[in-house]
Amino acid sequence: MLKTMDDIMKKAQSVRKRKLSVAVAQDLEVLTAVDNAFKNNIIDPILVGDEEAIKKIAAENNIDISNWQIMDEKDDSKAALQAVKNVSSGNADMIMKGLVSTSVFLKAVLNREFGLRTGRLLSHVAVVENANYHKLLAVTDAAMNIAPDLSAKIDIVKNAAKVMTALGIERPKVAPVCAVETVNPAMEATLHAAAISKMSDRGQLKGCIVDGPLALDNAVSKKAAEHKGIVSEVAGDADIILLPDIEAGNVLYKALVFLADVKLAAIIVGAKAPVVLTSRADSDETKLRSIALAASCVLD
């Protein structure tokens, strides 16, 4: 079982080297992360974007891109689509969002003709290493599905469980987190949480254990759960936090990045190939870890 981000880096270095297609690559953090992933033998890049700007940033920051393939495309939407096409045509194994808005990038990923659709739901999974928690923790969905209904949440759970299983966690424990740990008909998220948990009890969700609603404190702290008298296999030991919607997901993600001392990696799963999706404000270290997480989750 992988326990740290270093473990994820090591796993990414131990598997086949991936070809990474980068959409709108003219950004220092993106190029630094790609350079480090290249030097760590995790990927060979194809950079799509404004070639002149890419070369300028690389030259100013001593990043040697002389052996990397560059595809010149100044328009962001076209660059995102070209980066996607590199994967759907089989010329790359995974794709990464660069200096482009998430929705423009995701629309290219979902493109009907050239996109990476599989017929399944695509969703965002962030994996976090935090000194205050005893293991890696996945947070989903902070960036793709805006207001998932019950069936979308079931798919979001399945996607996150696949990621954690790829990291060696046999039956990840899923906490559907709400504002309260009791079912309140006025809070729809608690109804979703209860329904998914019952499906889990009845064996309708394979490969993971779901129990909720839980509040965030009792999902990650046994003490908080005991204090409230909650008896649950998941409470205090969650591997996956399922958030009610993109607002809660994104706020938790940004709170972890900006207010806590965490190491984080983020990808989109459910597509034909792993998608590295970090926020433009994320550091090059987060982007590097995200490339490593994506490489660790490609199933050969």
Identify which of residues 12 and 22 has a Cβ nearer to ligand COD in the complex.
Answer: 22
CB 42 within 8 A of CB 18: yes
- Fill in the amino acid letter for 33: A
- Fill in the amino acid letter for 165: T
How many Cβ atoms sit within 10 Å of the Cβ of residue 66?
A: 7
Least distance between ligand COD and beta carbon 108 (Å): 9
Using CB under 6 A, pick the residue from 31, 92, 122, 163 that binds ligand COD. Answer: 122
Least distance between ligand COD and beta carbon 143 (Å): 4
If binding is defined by CB under 6 A, does position 111 make contact with ligand COD?
no
Least distance between ligand COD and beta carbon 128 (Å): 16
Interface with ligand COD in residues 261-280 (CB under 6 A)? 279
If binding is defined by CB under 6 A, does position 254 make contact with ligand COD?
no
Least distance between ligand COD and beta carbon 10 (Å): 28
Identify which of residues 26 and 279 has a Cβ nearer to ligand COD in the complex.
Answer: 279
Rg of the chain taking only CA atoms, in angstroms:
19
Q: Where are the beta strands (DSSP E) in the chain?
A: 18-23, 43-49, 69-72, 94-97, 123-130, 137-140, 173-178, 209-210, 214-215, 240-242, 262-269, 275-276
If binding is defined by CB under 6 A, does position 107 make contact with ligand COD?
yes
If binding is defined by CB under 6 A, does position 180 make contact with ligand COD?
no
Least distance between ligand COD and beta carbon 297 (Å): 17
CB 282 within 8 A of CB 259: no
The residues facing 10 across adjacent strands are none
Identify which of residues 151 and 182 has a Cβ nearer to ligand COD in the complex.
Answer: 151
d(CA 169, CA 150): 25
Residues that bind ligand COD (CB under 6 A): 102-103, 106-107, 110, 121-122, 143-146, 250, 279
